[in-house]
Chain A
Amino acid sequence: MATRTSTQNAMQTRPASLVVERTGPLALVEDAGRFGCRHLGVTQGGALDWISLGWANWLLGNAPDAAGIEIAIGGLALKAEQTIRLAIAGADLGATRDGEPLDANVSFTLEQGQVLAFDQPRAGLRAYLALPGGIDAEPFMGSLSTVAREQLGGLDGRGGMLQVGDRLSAAGHAGEIRDMPSVPPMPRDEVVLALVTGAQIAHFEGASLFAAFNQGWQVDSRADRMGVRLTGPALRCQLGGMISEGIPLGAVQVPPDGQPIILLNDRQTIGGYPRLGALSPIACAQLGQCAPGTTIRLSPVTPHQARTRYLRQLALWR
């Protein structure tokens, strides 16, 4: 029995699709993340640089948290099965359309048979690709976000990364197409990240606190969607082994070796190391674009300051 809605849909053309021709190191379906299930041990997931995913969506007139593709490092190539409007934002991964260079933050049309290809990072680490209306796939617990470790989300629902031959179908049709306003550049050699200081900071030694906020930290090569290690002076905390407790996004935890680990979207839901605090959501997005070797400076902020900036960012997409 056809409903009025399905009749309307039938009058429009079927949403267009792309096929994966070549994969890179890591390309994942991500949206804003999975919420309301961390008490079951299910982590949040979601785009590391949620601001760039938001801009890619904004360029197509999508909701800012619609699912897109997070392309880390580059390498991915996609062919249009039908002519499709797309948008990219975030890192400059040397994207081309049939070999012709594209801007890093742009909405464009990929004609049927044309290939969108990503090369390697020129600025930042992760580019975000948006499709009209998001990506058509079956959400799990309200989200398409891929968490490989948990075997959840993604096109297959099992946490798989994009594979050659995978088909990405748009969930709808492009809304109002927009141009990109000027946005802050990708982090280069040094970046200042806002840290909401937490109550446990009182248990760190004075000299360690001075070091934490007055010295540069290096992004280590041990960095993934679970967390990013920093190297620098060893931080000392009087709290020993703690009883495991819930971990917020961006938590800056300090294990016994004194080298901080910033816990990101795919982190475990509970853990037992003392924390300096947690990066603001905007700082988490920035960290998602920092290559190993980048120097990080931590800048203490209050929850109020971090919230004001966060709400200002959301307001840009209204």
Chain B
Amino acid sequence: MSQSLSPRLETVGMDALMVRLFDAIDEAHMPWILAADTALRERLGEAMIDLVPSYTTLLVHYDVSRLSQIEARKLIQDALRGLKPASNQAGREHRIPVWYDDSVGPELSRIAERLGVDTDDVARRHAGRDYCAFALGFAPGYAFMGLVEEALATPRLKTPRQRVPAGSVGIAERQTAIYPMRSPGGWNILGRTAVKLFDRERDEISLFRPGDRVRFEPISREAFIEQGGDTTPLEER
């Protein structure tokens, strides 16, 4: 990993600039993205309306009643000068218990068949490493995480499902995610968690933030029910 960056700053709209730090997806980039996130929020202060980090970039949406684009560029360049990556421990750690089962994760056995292993093995391998939350998008609290081991990589479903239940854990290519609420979706579903990802009654409304580290933990049906999990099978539609 290089110890200095040459960020590129691109105009993307009247009140938005894209900070481009990298050209490829890599977990090793996240400490830099997190450091840039902190530095930009500090430097722009009240003039920052929204800051959207994602894989290789940060979208800065600033307040044009306070800053011209030239002024915004200068502040952003100042903020990023001499940037040092955040520590590897930056971002919070989460353990997410998952009931891996065909009834709630129909692609579990399909992937197992393809690899010539049993479903427990697929579950163990999916749960066998720490994932990094690269970005949130698609829906509130939906984190794009990775990278899953190469052998498990599976393309999205050709026809997305109309309804994927809340808590469904899926993979698409080498990324993995959890559906925070029932929604349409095309990811391969392996199981379900009872953990609430987006909860307006909680102080931390979204459980995940960009840069967090996530580890899945296979649990039994009984443990899933005990945690308040909904065992209704994922209906094929």
Contact = CB atoms under 8 A, between A and B. Distances in A.
Contacts of A249: 13
A36 to B, nearest CB: 6
B12 interface: yes
A171 interface: no
Given A243-B56, A270-B52, A196 B11 contact: yes
A277 B13 CA distance: 6
B13 A251 contact: yes
B69 A268 contact: no
B13 A278 contact: yes
A149 B142 CA distance: 13
Nearest to B24: A243
Interface of B: 10-16, 18, 24-25, 37, 49-59, 61, 64-65, 68-69, 135-144, 181, 183, 198, 200, 205-206, 209-210
A275 B49 CA distance: 21
Contacts of A248: 12-13, 15-16, 59, 61
Given A247-B59, A278-B13, A269 B136 contact: yes
A287 interface: no
Contacts of A247: 59
A270 B56 CA distance: 12
Interface stretch (A1-9, A22-30, A303-311): A303-311
Contacts of A36: 49-50
Contact of A251 (B12, B50, B205): B12
Contact of A38 (B15, B50, B138, B198): B50
Interface of A: 35-42, 44, 140-141, 149-152, 157, 196-200, 243-251, 268-271, 275, 277-278, 280-281, 303-304, 306-307, 310-311, 314
B16 A245 contact: no
Contacts of A35: 49-50
A278 B54 contact: no
A271 B55 CA distance: 11
B200 A140 contact: yes
B184 to A, nearest CB: 10
A246 B52 contact: yes
A307 B65 CA distance: 9
Contacts of B144: 244
A145 B87 CA distance: 37
B141 A39 contact: no
A151 B14 CA distance: 29
A38 B52 contact: yes
A278 B14 contact: yes
Contact of A269 (B10, B68, B137, B205): B137
Nearest to A152: B140
A311 B54 contact: no
